[in-house]
Structure 1
Amino acid sequence: MLDYRSIARDVFNIEANAVRSLTESLGADFDDAVSRILELQARVIVCGMGKSGIIGKKIAATLASTGTPSFFMHPGEAYHGDLGMVTPEDVFVAISNSGETDEVLKLIPFLKDNGNYLVSMTGNRDSTLARASDSHLNIGVEEEACPLQLAPTASTTATLAMGDALAVTLMKAKGFQPEEFARFHPGGSLGRRLLARVDDEMEREELPFVESDASVTEVIQAMSRGRLGLAIVKTGSSYGVVTDGDVRRAVESYGVGIFEIRAVDFMSKDPITISVGTRVEDALQLMESRKITSVLVADKGVVVGVFKK
């Protein structure tokens, strides 16, 4: 019976060794490729066929999301018109493990005539593609994880790692910041934290306001109506807050006499308040530091919303 986990571990080891070997094969061509991209402030066009193309799409996506304008171009489509999208200032990254992929090699005459800087990723430094390149990044591996040595496995992992190395190096060279990453990922959690304002996400409709002389029953009714786990107490020109926890503590303190007290007697005075326009990130950091889950949002001293985690 096959030992499935043993097979999986062998795959992990082979692919880990493939990535580790990239450290030894990395040369000055990597520096040249990075420098050229930075010098031209260039778009990076990634091209590859088959499995190399699939990896190329991921590399292009990583570059684009980390501050280097990039897109993937299928070599077949390129040869039939998409080369019109390539400007002389673009850096062209061609991926082919053998370095002899016909669909990719057909593009070389155009790229040379167009004046493009050509970066190749191949497993054969003596291949046609590698020799035609301005910079060659060696992605050669000693063996594939595939037992038949046919399916690209370790070689595609190495290619992906090389692409990540290129993207991360460019990130650091450009001083790429989290705020910039968030701009390209507005739909993600980081985008929400860094780009969104509390105004965009706060609760503003039917806020659970009560007067300072409101009874406990009125406070609880307001809390149930608002469904925010709190009631906002108006005390002249300022505000207080009653939370679920405040109600429980009041019950423990006053017992049956709780129905004789008013909101002002057990509210939290001077609650933490933030201004409209505050970044979600800043609001969340404040709430985390104070170990609270809700905060009042004010506009010129008037509470206009409640922001919750």
Structure 2
Amino acid sequence: MKLVKKNIQSTARAVLLAESEAIRQAVGAIDEQFEQIVETILQSSGRVVVTGIGKSAIIGQKIVATLNSTGTPALFMHAADAIHGDLGMIQTHDVVICLSKSGNTPEIKVLVPLLKRTGIPLIALVSQTNSYLAVQADFVLKASAETEADPLNLVPTTSTTVALALGDALAVSLLNARGFTSQDFARFHPGGSLGKKLYLKVSDIYPHHEIPTVALRATMQEVILEMTSKRLGATAVADENGDLAGIITDGDLRRMLNRFNTLQLEQLCARDIMTPSPLCIHPDEYATHALKIMQDRSITQLIVAVDNRIKGFVHLHDLLKEGLV
């Protein structure tokens, strides 16, 4: 096959414009019936069962994934498999959403009467509102797509995009109505950097480190050995009661070398070069808060403390390792 490169960019732009215009027109589908669909799902004590065939089935699976991750229990049932036993997954208090562009495919015509027999609410996500599916459904969510984006008007492109967008609109509307929070989202997304940003706390990180600590009157040799052995680029300074008095970082050591000569260095102790009342973070704070402090103050470590008692350190490298940066 000879590759035709002519007008590639214009073709791609035309597809995007056609699909974006179809989504814009789909705003008209958001009406009182859309509110009734949301209320029906909210009042249901069961799951949302999404079904379809062909490309609609693929879009349906994505809608199910979005519903599940935003607090609405959902599952996918392929329309062809439904009539061969999968109807058994539907329970009394479920709600069914059936996706179909035409609403007249043979599999849908066989499935719809079986769904109606269960007595559960049937929502049609369909382009043709005079179709068999739309007429039989309890609620109709119109996914208008007058033409597809391909020149032959055959490939499901515009129609599937509109159906997907309406599925997102439904999921987010349910999310808002349920008062779904970022912490709820984190419970369903514990993996990856996104989940970690929502649930990872300082207490999950700092126990992995040793706790570099020196006394107020520790010598410079003791300070350097402590910082070197614990490999965090800093050490806490504790007073006679073990409370946090200050912090000494690599930067403090460099500044010390610039300010004092060799004889003076031998007379210095930790108290002379430490930064008093250093920034601290509580173990129960989220790791993203620790990251923000570090970024705002251009520092690479924070002391973890509770009531001025030193618990440990959290380092920027820890947050990099966790994928938060």
Query: Could you state the TM-score of these two structures normalised by the residue count of structure 2?
Result: 0.86
Question: Cα offset for 1:226?
Answer: 2.2
Q: Indicate how the Cα distance of structure 1 residues 104 and 225 shifts in structure 2: closer, same or farther if over 3 A, else same.
A: farther
Are the aligned partners of 1:204 and 1:304 in contact in 2 as well (CA < 8 Å)?
no
Aligned to 1:147: 151
1:246 corresponds, among 249, 252, 260, to 252
Q: Deviations over 1:162-189 (max 9, x none)?
A: 0011011111111211111111111243
The residue identity in structure 2 corresponding to 1:222 is E
Percentage of identical aligned residues: 42
CA drift of 1:66 comes to: 1.0
Q: 1:255 to 1:41 in 2, by over 3 A?
A: farther
Amino acid corresponding to residue 107 of structure 2 in structure 1: E
Aligned pairs for 1:61-210 within 5 A: 61-210=65-214
User: CA-to-partner distance for each residue in 1:92-132, whole Å, 9 max, x for gaps?
Assistant: 11101111222233222222121111111111001111111
Q: CA deviation at 1:76?
A: 2.5
SS at match of 1:137: strand
| TM-aligned CA deviation for residue 4 of structure 1 | 1.8
Aligned to 1:32: 36
Amino acid at match of 1:135: F
Give 2:18's match in structure 1, choosing from 3, 14, 20. 14
Whole-angstrom distance in 2 between the partners of 1:215 and 1:51: 72
CA contact (8 A) 2:210 2:312 kept: no
Select the residue among 282, 304, 307 that pairs with 1:297. Answer: 304
Identify which of 264, 270, 273 aligns with 1:263: 270
251-260 or 157-166, which deviates more: 251-260
Would the aligned equivalents of 1:21 and 1:141 in 2 still touch at CA under 8 Å? no
**Which stretches in structure 2 are left out of the alignment for 5+ residues?**
320-325
Note closer, same or farther for the CA distance 1:126–1:218 as it changes in structure 2 (3 Å cut). Answer: same
Partner SS for 1:77:
helix
Partner-residue secondary structure (3-state), 1:107: helix
Counterpart code for 1:246: D
Q: Report SS of the residue matched to 2:260.
A: helix
Aligned residues: 309
Contact 1:97 1:155 in 2 (8 A): yes
CA contact (8 A) 1:198 1:280 kept: yes
Q: Name the counterpart of 1:272.
A: 279
Distance 1:249 1:286 in 2: 23
> 1:204–1:306: 8 Å Cα contact kept in structure 2?
no
The structure 1 residue matched to 2:227, chosen from 223, 229, 243, is: 223
**8 Å contact from structure 2 (residues 46, 92) kept in 1:** no
Counterpart for residue 49 of structure 1: 53
Q: 1:219 to 1:25 in 2, by over 3 A?
A: same
What corresponds to 1:4 in structure 2? 8
Task: Decide whether the 8 Å contact of 1:94 with 1:119 is kept in 2.
Answer: yes
Tell which deviates more after alignment, 287-296 or 147-156: 287-296
What SS does the corresponding residue of 2:303 show, helix, strand or coil? Answer: strand
TM-superposition CA deviations, 1:148-173 (whole Å, max 9, x none)? 11111111111110001101111111
Name the SS of the counterpart of 1:9 in structure 2.
Answer: helix
> Any conservation in 1 of the 2:47–2:94 contact (CA below 8 Å)?
yes
Q: Report the 3-state secondary structure (helix = DSSP H, G, I; strand = E; otherwise coil) of the residue aligned with 1:106.
A: helix
- Taking structure 1 as reference, are residues 224 and 107 closer, same or farther at Cα in structure 2, changes over 3 Å only? farther
Equivalent pair of 2:212/2:235 in contact (CA under 8 Å): yes
The Cα RMSD (Å) is: 2.3
Deviation at 1:53, TM superposition (A): 1.1
Cα distance between partner residues in 2 of 1:25 and 1:85 = 30
For 1:258 and 1:11, how far apart are their aligned partners in 2? 71
Aligned residue for 1:99, secondary structure, equals coil
